[in-house]
Amino acid sequence: MELRARLIVEGFITGMHKSPYHGFSVEFAEHRPYNSGDELRHVDWKVFAKSDRYYVKQYEEETNLRHYIVLDTSASMRYKGDAPVSKLEYGATLSAALHYLMVRQRDATGLIGFDSTVHTLRPPKSTSGHLRGLLAALDEMSSGVPSKESATAAAAALHEVAERIHRRAMVVVITDLFENVAQHDELLKALRHLRYKGHEVLVFHVLNAATERRFQFPDVPMVFRDMETGEEVTLQPAQLRESYVEASGAFAETFRLRCREMAVDFVELDTSQPYEEALVSYLNKRRRLY
């Protein structure tokens, strides 16, 4: 997981010219006079040796932004479709890349995992040791066997997150939104709860676009099984495709509009596509905070 995260982030950085995003890198920018309270580790001792004056290395962005990545690990996230990885593997790898990027920016980052309940909560830190612990946890989440009770309960989990995070943070939610239909309004209330608590919120809606957004299955009788309840239904995909696509698109558009009303960023991701769109969306969100 650590290797994947590093390759994704460094490949992304290499593919960009000088970043317009403040805080994206920690490249040295300039010196400034030392002020009382500055950390001694940022003092440039070579300059001191030459000038007998204390100067601090100043970087392109020095912040103490706190992040939480909230990852859905429910059974429905283990669906792969025609993509090379499942939604959970995709979400865990994206989480790892974001953690890597955040620590590179000297931001504190933490991890929350949930299915039917919140099962993982690691408070934000910005150390390399903490990062390795987060990546190991993500590796375990994505490769472990789900429990029989691993249904999605995003609304309840986000309400709990809102109550447990006491300092302002950016909360990045990665989920397929496969909540019971009756719970969709409650899920939006949970996002509003996070905003009410002063948090910035970014939602990554992760799906396999070909099958879960466009319903591109072979036109033969097929049995579809709910990965969380085990319920099965037999149907011919062609008979349902048009109405399914219409309903799926309407749901996403409604959710996007409701999120916009709350100043919550909503980004649709496809598990068959690279991670660049997600990283750019995160950087855009972060940039607007400064």
Higher pLDDT, 77 or 143: 77
C-alpha 37/C-alpha 185 separation (Å) is 47
Q: pLDDT tens, 203-249?
A: 999 999 999 999 999 999 999 998 888 899 999 999 999 999 999 99
C-alpha 209/C-alpha 206 separation (Å) is 9
Q: Where in the chain is the domain with CATH 3.40.50.410?
A: 63-288
Give the Å distances, CA to CA, from 222 to 124, 218, 219, 237, 244: 45, 8, 8, 7, 15
C-alpha 172/C-alpha 91 separation (Å) is 11
Which tokens in the block code for residue 116? 């039917």
Options 3.20.20.150, 3.40.50.300, 3.40.50.410, 1.10.10.10; which CATH number does 63-288 get? 3.40.50.410
Kind of pairing between the strands at 108-114 and 118-125: antiparallel
Q: Report helix, strand and coil shares of the chain as percent, to nearest 5.
A: 45, 20, 35
pLDDT value at residue 60? 43
pTM: 0.83
pLDDT value at residue 25? 43
Q: Mean pLDDT of all residues in the chain? A: 86
Residue 50 predicted with pLDDT over 50: yes
Phi, psi of 155, rounded to the nearest 5 degrees: -60, -50
Alpha-carbon dihedral of residues 192, 193, 197, 200, nearest 10 degrees? -40
